[in-house]
Amino acid sequence: MSADGATIAYYQANAPRYTMSFGQAPSRHLDRLEPGARVLELGCGGGRDSARIRERGFDLDATDGTPAMVKKANERFAVGARVMRFDELEAIAAYDAVWAHACLLHVARADLPAVLAAIRRALRPGGWHFANYKLGDGEGRDPLGRLTNLPDELWIERAYRDSAFELVSSERYPGEGADGVQRDWHALTLRKEDRP
Q: Tell me if 131 is assigned to some domain.
A: yes
Q: Give the mean model confidence (pLDDT) for residues 114-139.
A: 96
Q: Are 39 and 98 in contact (CB under 8 A)?
A: yes
CATH of the domain at 102: 3.40.50.150
Distance, CA of 100 to CA of 175 (rounded, Å): 17
Predicted confidence (pLDDT) per residue in 164-175, tens digit: 999 999 999 998
For the chain, give the mean pLDDT. Answer: 90
Predicted confidence (pLDDT) per residue in 43-53, tens digit: 999 998 999 99
Helix 48-55 × helix 67-77 angle, to 10°: 50
Domain total in the chain = 1
- Given this model, what pLDDT does residue 27 score? 60
Q: Give the mean model confidence (pLDDT) for residues 114-126.
A: 97
Q: Are 44 and 70 in contact (CB under 8 A)?
A: yes
Q: Among 125, 120, 126, 127, which residue's Cα sits nearest to residue 97?
A: 127
With helix as H, strand as E and coil as C, how does the chain read? CCCCHHHHHHHHHHHHHHHCCCCCCCCHHHCCCCCCCEEEECCCCCCHHHHHHHHCCCEEEEEECCHHHHHHHHHHHCCCCEECCHHHCCCCCCEEEEEECCCHHHCCHHHHHHHHHHHHHHEEEEEEEEEEEECCCEEEECCCCCEEEECCHHHHHHHHHHCCEEEEEEEEEEEECCCCCEEEEEEEEEEECCCC
Q: Give the mean model confidence (pLDDT) for residues 153-162.
A: 97
Q: Tell me if 176 is assigned to some domain.
A: yes
- Given this model, what pLDDT does residue 1 score? 44
Q: Tell me if 100 is assigned to some domain.
A: yes
Q: Tell me if 26 is assigned to some domain.
A: no
Q: Supply the range of the domain harboring residue 177.
A: 5-21+33-192
Q: Which residues pair with 139 in a beta bridge?
A: 149
Q: Tell me if 151 is assigned to some domain.
A: yes
Backbone angles phi and psi of 59, in degrees to 5: -85, 100
Q: Among 94, 96, 104, which residue's Cα sits nearest to residue 192?
A: 96
Distance, CA of 58 to CA of 53 (rounded, Å): 6
Q: Tell me if 28 is assigned to some domain.
A: no
